[in-house]
């Protein structure tokens, strides 16, 4: 169930929509001028979690180079010669071009 946090500002109250992600952590769906808009945003975010369409925005900030080094390559269980081939292709073609780009 989404909830709303009220924050008092000099120009009037602001309403932050809160929902729970798949791991149970509370997240913000944005800040709005009306409680109704905040509840609507919270319901939309919660609905995307329930339908499986939720994507963690922070996970898209990892660069391609970091992802390859820390996630993809360690998960490969292949022969030594295959790993050497992967490393060669990555170092020669992919990382120089895509290494600094974020995965998002």
pLDDT tens digit string along 13-66?
999 999 888 778 888 889 999 999 999 998 888 888 877 776 666 667 888 999
Assign residue 24 a region (left: φ > 0; alpha: ψ between -120 and 50; beta: otherwise). Answer: left
Q: Which domains does the chain have, with CATH numbers?
A: 3-54 (3.30.730), 59-98 (no CATH)
CA–CA separation, 41 vs 51, rounded Å? 15
pLDDT for res 27: 87
pLDDT for res 83: 92
Give pTM, 2 decimals.
Answer: 0.54
């Amino acid at each position: 169930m989404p909830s709303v946090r009220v924050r008092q500002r000099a120009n009037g109250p602001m309403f932050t929509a809160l929902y729970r992600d798949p791991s149970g952590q509370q997240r913000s769906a944005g800040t709005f001028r009306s409680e109704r808009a905040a509840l609507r945003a919270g319901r939309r975010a919660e609905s995307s979690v329930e339908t499986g369409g939720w994507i963690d925005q922070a996970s898209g900030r990892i660069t391609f180079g970091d992802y390859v080094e820390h996630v993809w390559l360690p998960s490969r269980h292949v022969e030594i010669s295959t790993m050497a081939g992967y490393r060669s292709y990555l170092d020669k073609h992919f990382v120089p071009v895509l290494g600094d780009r974020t995965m998002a």
